[in-house]
Chains A and B, each alone.
Chain A
Amino acid sequence: MTDNLKIYAPAGNLASIIRAIDAGADAVYAGFRSASNLRNFSGINLSEGDMREGIWYAHKKGRGVFITINSYPQESELPACYKAVDDAWRMKADAIIVSDLAILDYAHKNYPELKLHLSVQAGASNSEAINFFKDNFNISTVILPRVVTLDEIRGISNNADVEIEVFAFGSLCINYEGKCFLSPYITGESTNTIGTCSTPKYLKFGESGGKLSFTMNGIKMNEYAADELELMPRIKEGRYQKQESETQWADNFLINRRQICKGRYIDSATKKRSYALQSPVYLNAVDIIDKLIDAGVSSIKIEGRQRNEAYVAKSVSAFKTVIDEYHKTGVLSVTKETMRSLNELFADIQPSHTCYLCK
């Protein structure tokens, strides 16, 4: 067995950096408050001061901070991205996570010692693509898009000389990263260039005839009958009593229902009303950690910069326990309690291995 599988945790604020490090994350990834990163939502991301403090805290504990500068800037957004690279270097970030050729080139030329991680958004899904970025920009790590199977990860790992990182937990994007425009088609706000997807400001709730409907910029994505939703009764029954608050539960509930891809639609072939693109499931690969390591994965990423520090701490802690035990004993053991604690972070939806186990 080689080095332990590393855990990289999301942070949308300083508190999340601290909680992630305290819970055992090897590094945290976070972005500045600008269109330079792909979680450009109001209320999250870090000021320069908080980023500097987060890096100081992580380094004090012997861990790292990676700064995400992974949008595809258009002309007017380039200066903010270059500044983010300059700041990352000045603040002694351990790496930056990048997609766009202009930003990769800028960082590689100006800061050759700054480690470059190729963002999932670059969509490098095969060994030749990864080798292109290695040859041209000397990337050290690739974050694989969620479109590859374990066998394909193994093939990539055998033919590309970089560290392999995959998503192992969090909200599940079912589409090929960097090539999904479902949200900008409805809202006009580009996921790739300004970093927003199914932005909450376009989400409206309506109630009529006993049904709660979700619309995104006027397009109806879903509706729930009262007996289907059961949101308030479940809280009252105490079924989710371990959640920190009703607000937290509602956040967890909505996190996988507000995206365009997770709406219910009617297809013209079967005329059925269904989750035609993506059922509301979340990614949880904690019980196949051994298979990921065997396929050549060096680090796993937890998704969720938009989530709060409690989510970050709980998810990191659960993965840390499982991974440490696996490296100690060589046996993967995921207790029911661990699985339940992870499931709780996604309210009532089912876990998925995405396509990792597909043939």
Chain B
Amino acid sequence: MELTLSPVYSAWDKQRLKNFYIKGAANMDVSTVYVGEVICQKRALLSNQDYKDIVSALKKSGKTVYMASLALITNKDELERTLQFAHLFDGIEVNSFGVLNLIIKDESLKDKDIIFGPFMNIYNSVATGYIKKFNPARLVIPYEVPYDTIKGITQGADIPVEVNAWGHLSTALSWRCYTARTFELGREDCRKKCFDFPEGILLNTIDDEDLYIMNGIQVLSSKIHCIIEQLDMLKEANVPYLRITPAYHCTADVVNIYSGVVNGNIDKKEAVKMLDAYAEHGLSNGWFLGKPGWEYIAA
């Protein structure tokens, strides 16, 4: 079982992103790193040279490096720009069928791996069987899919799957920029306010109970999805890849803990206690176990 790093979903400034990959991720115990903007084209600040530097550093430390692409694409400009640096990477995580269609028609990208991202809504083994015609290297399971379905997919179709193991859950994407709206700005005139909130804006209920996080056009769960106690179930289902979502502060520590459990050096119960310290608003694993997403059910 290998660990991977998902794309960064929040708005981090350019220098922080570069440092995260070149100085941080390159030294983490992960086999694959996904780099690139998934949420909003306006956040895509890295240049061709930046990507070259990042890919070079990660490849030097033996990582497979994939480019993640936008999840919500509504015009030609976004379609064209989302793939402009694809040639630098080992493969592309597609999060829109539009991007998939561009890749399969583009001869220059035919040697690149295709990874079906979590926003592609592949929910069953028959749909997984269908996408085999595009020869995908991996399928990232959608966030809400429970264990029983994951097992059905891994048993019914032989595409390696990647399962979200740690991170805030994506609970919505919208045409609206929620962060801009908070400041009474429109999406077209957002002033890139999300860069002021690299961990997003917390949304509490009127009883002051934390619930969601606004991250530009995305809404995330406030709780952090954590299935470290369920790793044996994942092994039984032949899941080869566990995905860790980078966070603003603690990614290296989280990777170390997951790595410790995968390698048998840290007890799972102990790991949960350690990880809980990195989840300001608590842990959840409900969706994985077929329950409401915000619940945490201890093993």
Contacts and interface: CB of A to CB of B under 8 A. Distances in A.
Interface residues of A, number: 70
Given A181-B172, A264-B206, A74 B124 contact: yes
Contacts of A125: 72-74, 96, 98
Nearest to A101: B127
Contact of B98 (A78, A129, A355): A129
Interface in A157-186: 159, 174-176, 178-182, 184-186
A220 B197 contact: no
Contacts, number: 211
B221 to A, nearest CB: 6
Interface in A39-90: 72-75, 78
Contact of A277 (B78, B178, B197, B295): B178
B149 A75 contact: yes
Interface in A207-242: 217, 219-223
Contacts of A75: 124-125, 148-149, 152, 156
Contact of B172 (A127, A182, A354, A358): A182
B172 A265 contact: no
A193 B101 CA distance: 25
A190 interface: yes
Contacts of B207: 220
Contact of A220 (B148, B169, B171, B205): B205
Interface string B146-178: 001100100010000000000001111111101
Interface stretch (A3-11, A12-20, A145-153, A288-296): A145-153
A49 to B, nearest CB: 29
B287 A174 contact: no
Contacts of B182: 267, 269-270, 276
Contact-residue size bin, chain B (C-beta under 8 Å from the other chain)? 35 or more
B97 interface: yes
A268 interface: yes
A190 B286 CA distance: 12
A78 B126 contact: yes
A132 interface: yes
A185 B202 contact: no
A124 B97 contact: yes
A186 B173 CA distance: 17
B174 to A, nearest CB: 5
Interface in B44-100: 71-76, 78-79, 96-100
B203 A74 contact: no
B230 interface: no
Contacts of B240: none
A101 B122 contact: yes
A73 B121 CA distance: 10
Contacts of A269: 182-183, 197, 201
B72 A268 contact: no
A126 interface: yes
Contact of A148 (B74, B174, B178): B74
Given A128-B99, A267-B182, A355-B175, A277 B292 contact: no
Contact of A147 (B174, B188, B286): B174
B195 interface: no
Interface stretch (B208-216, B243-251, B252-260): B208-216
A265 B123 contact: no
B127 A126 contact: no
B71 A179 contact: yes
A268 B175 contact: no
A248 interface: no
B174 A184 contact: no
A25 B97 CA distance: 32
B293 interface: yes
Interface in B86-135: 96-102, 119, 121-127, 130-131
A273 interface: yes
B78 to A, nearest CB: 7
A17 to B, nearest CB: 29
Contact of B206 (A148, A185, A265, A355): A265
Given A185-B221, A264-B206, A175 B173 contact: yes
Given A126-B73, A188-B286, A268-B201, A148 B291 contact: no
A178 B174 CA distance: 11
A100 interface: yes
A241 B76 CA distance: 49
Which of A155, A176, A217, A354: most chain B CB closer than 10 A? A176
Given A72-B121, A223-B206, A265-B205, A128 B149 contact: no
Given A78-B124, A176-B173, A181 B100 contact: no
A136 to B, nearest CB: 9
B186 interface: yes
Interface of B: 71-76, 78-79, 96-102, 119, 121-127, 130-131, 143-145, 148-149, 152, 156, 169-176, 178, 181-183, 186-188, 197, 201-209, 211-212, 214, 219, 221, 286-287, 290-295
23 contacts: A100-B124, A101-B127, A102-B124, A102-B127, A105-B126, A106-B126, A123-B121, A126-B73, A126-B76, A126-B96, A128-B99, A149-B74, A155-B76, A181-B171, A185-B293, A186-B294, A188-B293, A192-B123, A219-B205, A220-B207, A265-B205, A266-B204, A276-B203
Interface of A: 72-75, 78, 99-102, 105-106, 122-133, 135, 146-149, 151-152, 155, 159, 174-176, 178-182, 184-188, 190, 192-193, 217, 219-223, 261, 263-270, 273, 276-277, 354-355, 358-359
